[in-house]
Structure 1
């Protein structure tokens, strides 16, 4: 569907921008002036009163020159206000013009235009109708009125106005364009095309490329193959007539995309950008396409074009910054975001991303500073508060982190991630009861938040409440059957309690399907197999766990246990030593070293046979 309403109205208005206010043809252009019927004690000095001319019948009238001067003055003021974009004052001035020149259709047309800017369609229509009434041969007035009727979908009335234009001016090239548009709006495609084609054939029409473009737009909406081909041909003709016509390129590209030939559309757009002055409209389409395809360098090139030719440069710069972040070009991203923030210091979105880049580049003080500036009213507040607290904890400022998160919770209690972070900090301080209380408050507000419930289960594990742990983890899996942490934690808890080992194995295997490279998940599955005396299979999964989490003491210890059960004594001792080196708990270190000592004592009490003796014995045993 084509919409020519704004074009019709704006084109008509432009014709009258520089017109004179006074178009009255009445030779006796005079307005009567009557004295007040009461005595005004504060009358203006006689020197300031309008000049009065007495007629022969004794009735006083104002000087026509004065009237014309006033009309021109207010008309000029109206034009000045209009150029400034002050439609309200322009309307006032044009109304004043009509007081002194009541017969000027041009003033009514200017009023119609200003009312239209204000979105006051009915007032605009009234003025346009008045202009036509005053001067029925005014082509511009009929075009304006036709455009207004069209915008109100009063198509028969609009059509009448355009046909009137053609009667008044058979060579007019605007009316056929608008008539074609009206037929297009009413899905009368062939009639619409016939009018556009008449313009192509009209030697007086200076923009035949537009007519071809409109033919293409009409045919493009018709699904039949012959019309799709006609649309393509029309767009190509438009581009032959005007090679730098970006709208035709966009429509032709859209046609190719509609035909599932996205590559052809992109090639068309890129060639246009190379061969002509790059079009911001095409740059916008290309940049979005390349972003969706993950071709960030190409997208960035188009955004650079758009940055120089857009009314919203900050949005474009923000997209550019996000691309730089995606490409891990953090210094450039920082530079771009800092520039945007200077222009839009109130933007919490820009500030959040800048803080996130500071965090990524280990500029933690700067990151915390920016995160703290994000107001509680922002949608980014919860995440900003969590990140700020997390960074402070990492900087060994745990008390300050607790202060930040508690303040954040006081300002916004509707952010579940804040409850979770608060509890984790209290957990860090070994204040498990307080952590549990915070999570209980969070679950009152968000009873179906699986992650909060998971944390609540882990805190109860710290408190030794295994029954609560199991209950909460089951609830987690009811809310989210694919919650990997919940699957793993429940499986490991059952393994540690030596309960429900077949069910625990099922949970662990499900977790492994979801996260096949998670060392903790692999360790859980290996440990459950160990508990079921499936030592050979246990070794396989525990070795994989150690590969992915080589610095975790408990995983190394479990692998050592599995090696020992498989009589791989040297490997077992090696893993126990590594586990002891990685462990920070002194009691646990002592426990692991006791395992090494036990193995060594056993080795001393059972001397190994020479290899020449062991081999035949092994062969004999295998038989």
Structure 2
């Protein structure tokens, strides 16, 4: 039977024609909105929405209600909106969010079911978008519980289990997350997104073998998926499976020889393996790529540093003029010059860096202070760090650096104050505990206080060489040379530094073991004839250079 033409009565019932009363309500709503009278605007839009078969007016009322955080009228507006357009996904999302916020599990499940039925393909993306909002509201656990009920109703819906895995991960329940993503993959084995999540979860738990297995399976199923191959490459590198990582890089490069990211990764792997020539060859291929020239030049410079070619290294570092690696390259150049004591070249570089990298002002100041320190200009270093503390009075690195310089200037009150400020904020700061304990040992007779700091540091990091050395030096000051020697030798085995060697030599000398002390001194002095600690030992114990 042919359908009858839609009559006037039907159109009137739907009220698609805006009558005078509705027009008045809409005008009143707009005017109220312009005057920031949002409660009045909300009332007018809501009344108009009930009279007109146009879901857009109800949508407007919902958005104003959410802005006003008026949950009662927002729910009322949502009901109107869904009555006008029951398949509107935006309305369903708002309904889900409101239900979860109010712990209304029944309404949340009902609206999620509607979303799943109306838009199964977009369900996962839509819910993921909402979960980010719910996380900010602290409703992640409740959202997970809602999805648990949904999973019972839809045991063959992989996307529901995947979403649960994501939420379990947010809740730091890695085991549950892995269980849920495994369920998703049982239903949809070739779902790469779930495979990637499974690999990420396995990697997070330290199970790199499982992560590798998951990704290798995915790569086999989708060999053209470059993202999967790069994720597998990352897992191989993290697992130190360098040979397999190289093979995978080469397979990627067979398909795309100019893949810069893969070339760069391959170069880093070669560097890790000590295959410097191969690393250089790969990095040089990146020099013609403007986006990767900086990274390549920086690492070519690092290779030259390792090969004791300082001038070549500087040339590479100076080639990095801009980009993400520019500051690191300039810092590497300054560090190289500092180690070579080419101080006259450093000051101009630091000045340029201060102008070029205003956002790195603190780090540049720290380098400047270190330069003055190396030059023996301790007051200048102290002044630079004091200036920095005016802008950042609680900065740990600046406080610590100034404390060490203060010791050089015999400003022990400043040293103690700065280190104590660090410890007030972080009582377990091993560096500050050790520095304060050692200074009290070496420069005062407050041995009981020193012991308190050093014993705490030793309990926190029992294998740290500098802490063991400090504690050994304390034992010597307490008149226990044999016990001191035990700690100092253990420290020197872990970290053969000149200062520790000087401590051992002094303790041996005090025990009458002068021959052994001199042999130790001679062995290290040959390598570091300008070392201040060795020179001090020589001055005090080896008169006339004997």
Q: Is contact 1:576–1:595 with CA below 8 Å preserved after alignment?
A: no
Say if 2:219 is the partner of 1:219: no
Aligned to 2:451: 505
* Aligned-pair CA distance for 1:329: 3.0
Of 408, 416, 432, the residue aligned with 1:462 is: 408
Aligned to 1:589: 538
Per-residue CA deviation, residues 553-612 of structure 1 (Å, 9 max, x unaligned), is x43443344345556566556556668776646665232125999xxxxxxxxxxxxxxx
Alpha-carbon distance between aligned partners in 2 of 1:363 and 1:570, rounded to the nearest angstrom = 39
Q: Is contact 1:560–1:572 with CA below 8 Å preserved after alignment?
A: yes
* Aligned-pair CA distance for 1:487: 2.5
Of 192, 196, 200, the residue aligned with 1:250 is: 192
Q: Is contact 2:301–2:314 with CA below 8 Å preserved after alignment?
A: yes
Question: Do the aligned partners of residues 537 and 336 (structure 1) sit closer, same or farther apart at CA in structure 2, a change above 3 Å counting?
Answer: same
Say if 2:293 is the partner of 1:342: no
Question: Do the aligned partners of residues 217 and 296 (structure 1) sit closer, same or farther apart at CA in structure 2, a change above 3 Å counting?
Answer: farther
Q: Is contact 1:509–1:525 with CA below 8 Å preserved after alignment?
A: yes
Aligned to 1:391: 336
Equivalent runs, 1:500-539 vs 2, <5 Å: 500-513=446-459, 515-539=461-485
Say if 2:354 is the partner of 1:409: yes
Per-residue CA deviation, residues 526-578 of structure 1 (Å, 9 max, x unaligned), is 111121223332121122233345451x4344334434555656655655666
Of 335, 338, 345, the residue aligned with 1:400 is: 345
Say if 2:299 is the partner of 1:357: no
Q: Which has the higher helix share?
A: 2
Q: Is contact 2:200–2:211 with CA below 8 Å preserved after alignment?
A: no
Alpha-carbon distance between aligned partners in 2 of 1:226 and 1:583, rounded to the nearest angstrom = 64
Alpha-carbon distance between aligned partners in 2 of 1:591 and 1:230, rounded to the nearest angstrom = 74
Bigger CA radius of gyration: 1
Per-residue CA deviation, residues 47-85 of structure 1 (Å, 9 max, x unaligned), is xxxxxxxxxxxxxxxxxxxxxxxxxxxxxxxxxxxxxxx
Say if 2:435 is the partner of 1:486: no
Say if 2:265 is the partner of 1:316: no
Aligned to 1:89: none
Say if 2:238 is the partner of 1:289: no
Alpha-carbon distance between aligned partners in 1 of 2:470 and 2:155, rounded to the nearest angstrom = 63
Alpha-carbon distance between aligned partners in 2 of 1:256 and 1:576, rounded to the nearest angstrom = 57
Q: Is contact 1:330–1:361 with CA below 8 Å preserved after alignment?
A: no
Q: Is contact 1:491–1:504 with CA below 8 Å preserved after alignment?
A: yes
Q: TM-score, normalised by structure 2?
A: 0.58
Query: Bigger shift: 587-596 or 400-409?
Result: 587-596
Per-residue CA deviation, residues 83-104 of structure 1 (Å, 9 max, x unaligned), is xxxxxxxxxxxxxxxxxxxxxx
Consecutive unaligned residues in structure 1, runs of 5 or more: 1-150, 157-178, 188-215, 236-247, 598-623
Aligned to 2:26: none
Q: Is contact 1:432–1:459 with CA below 8 Å preserved after alignment?
A: yes
Question: Do the aligned partners of residues 254 and 316 (structure 1) sit closer, same or farther apart at CA in structure 2, a change above 3 Å counting?
Answer: closer
SS at match of 1:499: coil
Alpha-carbon distance between aligned partners in 2 of 1:281 and 1:576, rounded to the nearest angstrom = 57
Question: Do the aligned partners of residues 228 and 355 (structure 1) sit closer, same or farther apart at CA in structure 2, a change above 3 Å counting?
Answer: closer
Alpha-carbon distance between aligned partners in 2 of 1:227 and 1:361, rounded to the nearest angstrom = 48
SS at match of 2:287: helix
Question: Do the aligned partners of residues 479 and 353 (structure 1) sit closer, same or farther apart at CA in structure 2, a change above 3 Å counting?
Answer: farther
Q: Is contact 1:317–1:336 with CA below 8 Å preserved after alignment?
A: yes
Q: Is contact 1:280–1:305 with CA below 8 Å preserved after alignment?
A: no
Q: Is contact 1:564–1:572 with CA below 8 Å preserved after alignment?
A: yes
* Aligned-pair CA distance for 1:309: 4.3
Alpha-carbon distance between aligned partners in 1 of 2:197 and 2:418, rounded to the nearest angstrom = 55
Q: Root-mean-square deviation (CA), in Å?
A: 4.4
Of 230, 249, 252, the residue aligned with 1:306 is: 252
Aligned to 2:492: 546
SS at match of 2:288: helix
* Aligned-pair CA distance for 1:454: 1.8
Alpha-carbon distance between aligned partners in 2 of 1:588 and 1:476, rounded to the nearest angstrom = 32
Q: Is contact 1:352–1:384 with CA below 8 Å preserved after alignment?
A: yes
Alpha-carbon distance between aligned partners in 2 of 1:436 and 1:259, rounded to the nearest angstrom = 48
Equivalent runs, 1:593-608 vs 2, <5 Å: 593-594=542-543
Question: Do the aligned partners of residues 325 and 479 (structure 1) sit closer, same or farther apart at CA in structure 2, a change above 3 Å counting?
Answer: farther
SS at match of 1:458: helix
Per-residue CA deviation, residues 438-495 of structure 1 (Å, 9 max, x unaligned), is 2223333333332222221222222222222222222333455454443322112101
Aligned to 1:441: 387
* Aligned-pair CA distance for 1:404: 0.9
Say if 2:497 is the partner of 1:559: no
Equivalent runs, 1:205-284 vs 2, <5 Å: 219-223=157-161, 232=186, 235=189, 248=190, 250=192, 253=195, 266-267=212-213, 270=216, 280-284=226-230
Say if 2:442 is the partner of 1:496: yes
